[in-house]
Amino acid sequence: MDILVVLFLVIGLFFFLGGAVGIIRMPDFYTRLHPAGKLDTLGIFAMVTGLAIYNLHHFSLEALLLCAKMFLIVFFVFLSSPTATHSIVDAGMRAGLRHWTKKKGKG
């Protein structure tokens, strides 16, 4: 059981780390939003799954309810995080920000 918890937490941390590195390393605004939106969502899912399993050590109705509430957080993050990224990209396009191309980066 504990091994499963650690595994999920490590997976979550891995995705968060990837997201952080991606935000710093990616070349422009739009590509930076890609790790910010995608990896955070999956990272939160893995982390909360790990914590929920840890919480179920002493199985009871209360613990189960707490797990349901935790997954409610995941549900809302799953809804709102991609939508926020989408609207930020939309705003960038409307404001007229050009996307990055490889040629421009070399020149």
Partner 1 sequence: MRFLGLIIVCLTGALLLYGTGEFPDWGDPDSPASIHLSNYYIEKALEETQVPNLVTAVLADYRGFDTMFETAVVFCAGLACFLLLRDFKEKKERFYRHTPTGVILHVKNSKKILKTGKEFEHMDKDWVPADLIIKTVCRILIPFIQIYALYVVAHGDFSPGGGFQGGVIFGSSLILLAISYDLKTLIQRVKEKVLGIFAALGVLIYVGIGAICMFMGGNFLDYAKLAPLIPGDPHHIRALGMLGVEIGVGIAVTAAMVIIYINIVSAGRHDEGR
Establish how many alpha carbons lie within 13 A of residue 53's alpha carbon, considering only the half-sphere containing its beta carbon. Answer: 14
Question: What kind and span of H or E run contains 100?
Answer: none
Site stretch for partner 1 (CB under 8 A), options 4-12, 17-25, 35-43, 80-88? 80-88
Please, which residues have CB within 8 angstroms of residue 10's CB and are 6 or more apart in sequence? Answer: none
d(CA 29, CA 89): 9
- 76 is an interface residue for partner 1 by CB under 8 A: yes
Site stretch for partner 1 (CB under 8 A), options 1-9, 17-25, 48-56, 75-83? 75-83
Token couple for 20 = 């952080």
Amino acid type, 90: D
Q: Which is nearer to partner 1, 58 or 94 (CB)?
A: 94
Residue window 33-72: x/- pattern of binding to partner 1, with contact defined by CB under 8 A: ----------------------------------------
How far apart are CB 89 and partner 1 at their closest, in Å? 10
Token couple for 30 = 């739009």
Among 27, 64, 73, 83, binds partner 1 (CB under 8 A): 83
